[in-house]
Amino acid sequence: MNFRLNLITLALASFSGAAMANYGLANANLEKVDTTKWECKRCEPVNGYQGSVGVGGGAVITNDNHAANRFGGNEDGGVGELNADVRYNAESGYNASILTDRLGTGNGSANVSVGKAGVANAEFNYRTLTTWQEDNAFSQYVANGSELVNTGSLVQQDLKLERERYGFAFDVGGELWETYANFQREDKTGTKSRSVAGLSATNIVAPVDSTTDRWEAGAKLTGQNWFTGVSYIYSQYDNNLATSLTLDNNAYALANDPSNEAYQVVLNGAYSLNRTHFAGRVVSGKMTQDDDTLKIGGIAGFDGEVRTLDANFRVASSVTNRLRLTASYDHSDRDNRSTVLQGDAITVDGLSGDVEGVKLYDTTRNTYKVGASYRIASGYRLDGGYDRKDVERTEQDREKTNEDTLWARLRVTSLDNWDFGLKAGYSNRDGSKYDANRGTSEEDNALLRRYYLADRERVETELRITHTPIDTLSIDFTGRYAEDDYSESEIGLTEAKDYGYDLGLNWAATEHLNLHAFGGQQWIESAQAGSTVMNGTANWFADVEDEFIHAGLGFSYAGLMADKLVIGGDYLYADSTSDTVVSQGISVPYDDYYATSHSINFYGDYAFSEKMSARLDYMYERYQDSDYAEVGVSAVPGLTTLGYWGHNYNAHMVMVSFKYAL
């Protein structure tokens, strides 16, 4: 079963502590204060039209369409776009707006809204998203409808996905109530890399054509110190392709993603009692898959059904002017009620020969959190907490895991021009007996431990510093370190480290010149152990070191040509490398695996008048990557690939745009 629906994420309404004392503006004594200058002239609504409309055109020059991922989905050739931010306010209180961003390009959007706040509002939206993976994939197999055709020779093909999203939303309400509904559809088309069953390790370029619909409707009630709401969410995924692709009269060559649907009913609310605040939410849902499945491994029919129940409850209380306490409970249950309709419910592992049953996974999670925030003195605050996560799984190698976490954070803001934050934490995960030696286990070695089920100890820390030595200069630094120890794992992941830093600087050097720079590095190191012998002890070891670097700088200068011209530029560098060394008597390093990018953007913005301006942009990208795992189409006997996917290109983009202010 392959669910392509994303679980609906429902955000709990935020809440915070009440004021410690009556220091609010509403309680101030204003008898002897002249408040006439407090009026915000800019906040007055302007009736009529306001905003701007802009059009742009240009060209992209590249020999690799992967550059479109940097240039907003624009491929080699001409480019055109529409940018608009137009708003209309009527004296009656009704308003309308049109907002477009790069509309007409591969990554453009548009939004139209109309209504009156607190009465009724309607909104319509549209967006396109384009992602290029490769325009130089080679395969002798070409999809034609529901059939894979063997052309007998290599054919150059694209790996590209295009998403088109559009929908609407509206709400109607009064002072204490609101009802709302929204709809969104996403059409996804293009191609992606797939592997074909029945052939010896053969990769193909497979078509993609699907539609996902999402509906939501609900109502809210609001009181003086409470609110409650209920909503219904429905989502449906439809694969517009045939159930499978046929190759050489094999109807089961490639199974396409099955259509499926899901719904959720949500009930949430919050209540405030003096300085204590309560909030909660309950979500009940079901996901189903009724599409036919292929007769693979003896299974000819499948009826998928998963029921979900999520609930959480949170409370926060300002006990004193210095102390605030919080507590929360989260529950998540995934109940798999799927059934096998036809065929045998067992298969045989091709490597171990073990019998494997069709497994229906159930998962239940319970998370408990308590925390406290204490103001030691003015500018000194100490936070801390304890988290507990209990997970229970069925049909897996470990039925229960328990994870305990302790954390503390110190915040210091009392020093002039300095802001410090230091956080540290420790967590430990253990659980029930690890049972990887069952006849139905998927593991080929009883000593193997999956990293998300294995015992683990983690220590982590983070330091944040903000410094403003002068009013026009701001410096930000973040450093972090985390280490995982899988001391009980003989085979599998045994150790992992993740550490790095980020540094940023912004300087208003003069009235007209602004400078900014940033950079950072991240290192991820892991150690693994494995065995070439069935159920044997570790006899080979692997060390993996991943490094990521990003850096950039830029400037903007306003004040040229009688303050009519603004120029600016940005440079961005990004690099990622991975080094793997496998030791089995001797150490063997893997070949290159990296990606490097240099990108530049220069621009000039000239104002002909208060209402009309023109802008010229030049963008450049230098990109290289390499993957040692890539080999020629038939370089390895028994393996058919899509060829080398490495990128090595220079790409240029020039855009000229005109903007008119209403």
Would the pLDDT of 569 be above 70? Answer: yes
In 145-176, DSSP assigns E strands to 147-173
Distance CA 530, CA 494 (A): 10
In this predicted structure, the answer to whether residue 319 has a pLDDT above a threshold of 80 is yes
Residue 128: C-alpha distances to residues 47, 70, 131 (Å): 32, 15, 10
pLDDT tier for residue 535 given thresholds of 50, 70 and 90: confident
Model confidence band, residue 39 (pLDDT cutoffs 50, 70, 90): very low
- The reply to whether 241 and 104 lie within a common domain is yes
Number of domains within the chain: 2
Q: Give the C-alpha separation, 464 to 478, whole Å.
A: 5
In DSSP notation, 450-482 reads -TTTS-EEEEEEEEEEEEEEETTEEEEEEEEEE
Among candidate residues 265, 334, 343, 263, the one with its CA nearest the CA of residue 303: 343
Q: Name the pLDDT band for 258 (thresholds 50, 70, 90).
A: confident
How far is residue 597's CA from residue 69's CA, in Å, rounded to a whole number? Answer: 12
Flag whether pLDDT at 625 surpasses 90. yes
Cα separation, 581 vs 603, whole angstroms: 45
pLDDT in tens, 147-206: 888 888 999 999 999 999 999 999 999 889 999 999 999 999 999 999 886 667 788 899
567 lies in a domain? Answer: no
- Mark whether 276 and 377 lie in a shared domain: yes
Mean pLDDT of 631-658: 91
What band does 536 get if pLDDT is binned at 50, 70 and 90? confident
Enumerate the β-bridge partners of residue 102.
Answer: none
Q: Are residues 210 and 329 in the same domain?
A: no
Query: Does one domain contain both 380 and 317?
Result: yes
pLDDT at 17 over 50: no
Q: Which secondary-structure segment (H or E) carries 216?
A: strand 202-222
Is 309 within a domain? yes
Residue pair 378/412 in contact by the 8 Å Cβ criterion:
no
Give 88 or 199, the one with higher predicted confidence: 88
Contact 425, 457 (CB under 8 A): no
546, part of any domain: no
How many whole angstroms separate alpha carbon 345 and alpha carbon 132? 40
The secondary structure of 296-347 as a DSSP string is BTTEEEEEEEEEEEEEEEEEEEE-SSSEEEEEEEEEEEEEE--EEEEE-SEE
Separation in Å, CA 585 to CA 172, 540, 542, 582? 72, 8, 12, 9
Q: In which band, very low, low, confident or very high, does the pLDDT at 464 lie, cut at 50, 70 and 90?
A: very high
Record the pTM: 0.86
Alpha-carbon radius of gyration of the chain: 30
Task: With cut-offs at 50, 70 and 90, classify the pLDDT of residue 636.
Answer: confident
**Measured between alpha carbons, how far is 298 from 252 in angstroms, rounded to an integer?**
12
Task: Let me know whether 168 and 240 are in one domain.
Answer: yes
Q: Give me the helices (H) in 157-236, please.
A: none
Distance separating alpha carbons of residues 146 and 239, to the nearest angstrom: 13
Residue 574 pLDDT more than 60?
A: yes
Amino acid at 27: N
Please check whether residue 208 lies inside any domain of the structure: yes
CB proximity list for 416: less than 8 A, separation 6 or greater: none
Q: What is the pLDDT of residue 396?
A: 86
Q: Answer whether residue 13 shows pLDDT above 60.
A: no
Task: Give the whole-angstrom CA distance, residue 233 versus residue 284.
Answer: 10
CB distance 258 to 293 below 8 Å: yes
CB neighbour list of residue 28: distance below 8 Å, 6 or more residues apart: none
Q: Which two tokens stand for residue 290?
A: 């009724």
Query: Cα separation of 522 and 500, whole Å?
Result: 4
Strand 244-247 versus strand 250-255 pairing type: antiparallel
247 and 314: one domain? no
Evaluate whether 131 touches 120 at the Cβ level (below 8 Å): no
Q: What angle do CA 469, 471, 472 make, to 5 degrees?
A: 100
* CA distances (Å), origin 564, targets 50, 432, 598, 616: 21, 71, 30, 14
Does 314 reside within a domain? yes
What confidence tier does 255 reach under pLDDT thresholds 50, 70, 90? confident
Split at pLDDT 50, 70, 90, the class of 244 is: confident
Asked which of 230, 257, 284 is the last residue of a domain, the reply is 257
Which one, of 217, 134, 124, lies nearest residue 179 by Cα? 217
Average pLDDT over residues 534-550: 93
Answer for the pair 381, 406: CB distance below 8 angstroms, yes or no: no
CB of 653 within 8 A of CB of 619? yes
Mean pLDDT score, 542-547 = 96
User: Do strands 448-449 and 491-507 pair parallel, antiparallel, or not at all (unpaired)?
Assistant: parallel
Same domain, 69 and 204: yes
pLDDT score recorded for residue 290 = 81
d(CA 414, CA 421): 12
Q: What are phi and psi of 2, to 5 degrees?
A: -130, 95
* Of 192-206, 308-322, 446-460, 630-644, the least confident: 192-206
Mean pLDDT of 26-45: 48
- The reply to whether 534 falls in a domain is no
d(CA 515, CA 472): 10
Last residue in a domain, options 234, 257, 280: 257
Determine the pLDDT at residue 38: 46
Task: Tell me the per-residue pLDDT of 124-146, one tens digit each, with 9 for 90 and over.
Answer: 999 999 999 999 899 988 988 87
pLDDT at 6 over 50: no
- Per-residue confidence band for 10, with pLDDT thresholds at 50, 70 and 90: very low
Residue-level pLDDT at 300: 56
**pLDDT classification of 296: cutoffs 50, 70, 90:** low
18, pLDDT greater than 60 = no
pLDDT of residue 157: 93
* Domain containing residue 402: 268-413+430-444
The CB density around residue 208, as the number of other CB atoms within 10 Å, is 19
CA distance 180 to 331: 27
630, part of any domain: no
pLDDT for the residue 67:
94
Closest of 492, 551, 8 to residue 234, by C-alpha: 8
Whole-Å CA distances, 513 to 599, 600, 610: 22, 19, 22
Question: What is the per-residue pLDDT for 7?
Answer: 28
- Residues 69 and 140 grouped into a single domain: yes
pLDDT band at 620 (very low <50, low <70, confident <90, very high): very high
Task: Say if residue 218 is in the same domain as residue 76.
Answer: yes
Position 295 confidence tier, pLDDT thresholds 50, 70, 90: low
Q: Tell me: do 278 and 403 sit in the same domain.
A: yes
pLDDT digits (tens, 9 = 90+) for 104-114: 999 999 999 99
Q: What does DSSP say about strands 276-289 and 260-273: parallel, antiparallel, or unpaired?
A: antiparallel
In this structure, how many other beta carbons lie within 10 angstroms of the beta carbon of residue 521? Answer: 15
- Cβ neighbors of 591 (< 8 A, separation 6 or more) are 626, 628
Question: Is pLDDT above 90 for 495?
Answer: yes
pLDDT-derived band at 378 (thresholds 50, 70, 90) equals very high
**Residue 318: what pLDDT?**
96
Query: Are residue 130 and residue 78 in the same domain, yes or no?
Result: yes
Tens digits of per-residue pLDDT, 40-84? Answer: 545 566 789 999 999 999 999 999 999 999 998 888 999 999 999
Does position 356 have pLDDT exceeding 60, yes or no? no
- How large is the average pLDDT for residues 573-594? 93
Q: How far apart are CA 87 and CA 113, in angstroms?
A: 9
Task: Give the integer Cα–Cα distance in Å for 271 and 315.
Answer: 10
Length of the chain: 662
User: Both tokens of residue 5?
Assistant: 């629906």
Residue 342's pLDDT is 55
**Final residue in a domain of this structure, among 257, 278, 312:** 257
Q: Quick check: is 7 in a domain? A: no
Which has the closest alpha carbon to 441: 362, 354, 360? 354
Question: What average pLDDT does the structure give for the chain?
Answer: 88
Q: Where are the beta strands (DSSP E) in 378-472?
A: 380-393, 400-412, 418-431, 448-449, 456-470
Instruction: Average the pLDDT over each of 187-201, 342-356, 547-561 and give the range with the smallest value.
Output: 342-356
Can you tell me the distance from the alpha carbon of 520 to that of 550, in angstroms, rounded to the nearest whole number? 5
Q: How does DSSP assign 533-574, residue by residue?
A: STTPPP-EEEEEEEEEEEEEEEEEEEEHHHHTEEEEEEEEEE
Q: Are residues 359 and 215 in the same domain?
A: no
Side chain identity at residue 13, one-letter code: A
pLDDT confidence bin for 575, thresholds 50/70/90: very high
Residue 440 pLDDT class (50, 70, 90 cuts): very low
In this prediction, residues 364-385 reach a mean pLDDT of: 97
Tokens for 24?
């609010």
